[in-house]
Chain A
Amino acid sequence: MVEWKGAPGLSDEEITARKEHFRILVCIDGSDECYQSLQYAARLGGGVDADIVLLFVRPVDQGLRSGGLQVRVARENMLKWGLELPGIKYLKKGFDILGELGMMDGEDWSEHVVHTDVDGDPLGDNKTEYVNAKGKMVVLKLKVAPDIATGILEQWELGPYDLILFGTSGRWKGPVRSFWDPAVAQKIAIHAPCSVLVARDLDVGHGHLICTDGSDKAMEMVRRDGEMASHCDYPVSLISVALDVEAEDEAKANVDKAKKVLADMGIEVKETIVKVGNPVDEIIEAGPDYSLIVVAESGKTGLRRFFMGSVAYKVMGNAHNSVMIVR
């Protein structure tokens, strides 16, 4: 994970506090998938007492495409009519869901509204922060950015996040289409410096399927996800795929190694799977029985990830259900 160096306007204590907290960024776009991922984040956040930030990114209003008349003229006119910005309703709905799930119960929450001007936009960035006595935060943020993916990645710079969640429907575009115009989800998955969860029909009960290849990175990931899942009482299963029959023993050993690591942490493994074949296909096929496929990032940089494609990245793009890449 890339080291976060703090953001302007934060004191040293705030920076340390943010680094210590488990922080989850949930991207809200009004779709059903995004609210499913929010519910998941709430369970996860309840378990590890995390900060939850709800983010809606609105593309910046600019006039090159609108024939020379800035879109802000239309936007200002809408505000004069007393109309809300797109996104506010979606964020409010997300906040209500958190309330229903009991995330906002208990101690006194203090409310804090912050506005930041953004050049060229009549409204700029707006956020509402709710902080409780224990320092746990829930934030609603409406952000303006040149495009949605950039906005989400910029948000990471403002406060480190351990996990970015976003909903998406369907599979991603192929390499040719993405050369032209990569999908938002794809762009974030490539460039985000932290773990990323892509939610597709995410339902909570079926546990995590952790993929391991026995490498140090994968073992580290097994430890981290095992901890996260056990906090929320999610069952954990393990899968390892051998490329051919000879390597099957090695795959078995990998699974056993991971199982032992988890057992040492006091976590029981529900089932273990060993398959032979193409790792991407086998993992995708085994996936739908679980809430979430968990894969480790093989540590390539953004561009190499894009060109070569790791197993993790391919699984994320093509799976039928939700996938989390742990970094």
Chain B
Amino acid sequence: MGAGHAHMLYRHGSSPVHALPPHTKLTAVLAFVVVVVATPRTAVWAFALYAALLGTVAYAARIPPGLLLRRLAVEVPFVAFALLLPFVARGERTDVLGLPLSVDGLWGTWNVLAKGTLGVAASVLLAATTELRGLLLGLQRLGLPPLLVQIASFMIRYGDVVTDEMRRMRIARESRGFEARGVRHWGVLARSAGALFIRSYERGERVHLAMVSRGYEGTVPLVDEVTASRAQWSYALALPLSALVVCLLGWTL
């Protein structure tokens, strides 16, 4: 509960990227990722340019490169899958270090690695420069159904509470000498999960009653409307537009 009001991925700062309205940043990241995915995989230089663009954004947001690289580790499971592709794909073969590898599969690996890494890096930059509440406001501004935004905001607000409850149950188990070592102990853990569900659901009922007693009628009043000036839009869209130029060059060259 003492975690403060920012999520752990947010990095507080006062850079121009932090100051942009959240919905412009969301639009920019989405458009950028779409452009990256639409780029032909044979245009290797284009991906280097995309990486340079993201590097510029990270520099402007004063995000240290070490932090960015550490958070890229989330994509390790896909890397394992991508590395399998050259061995199973069809098509003509080529010899790399004595192994017959599929040319198409090698391109596939490169494709997934390059596009996946760029997508993850863009998401990491977004999460590092935008507060949670801002993200939700931005999503609502971009036309996500209000009910979905409300569910997401409840999930994020109570995520720490529920996780904390789970941690306390773990401490309670361990202080009674329990240590999960194998399949035999699944019953105990599953009972904890069941108790966690009941506690979460009942908390939801209590939260609803508390909201009703404060006049909730199905919609949360929007107190602060986020707006963006033309300058802010153009500043945010500079990233996907320059990426689009690179993409078009990649298709024509």
Question: Are A and B subunits of one complex?
Answer: no
Query: Interface on B for A, CB 8 Å cutoff?
Result: none
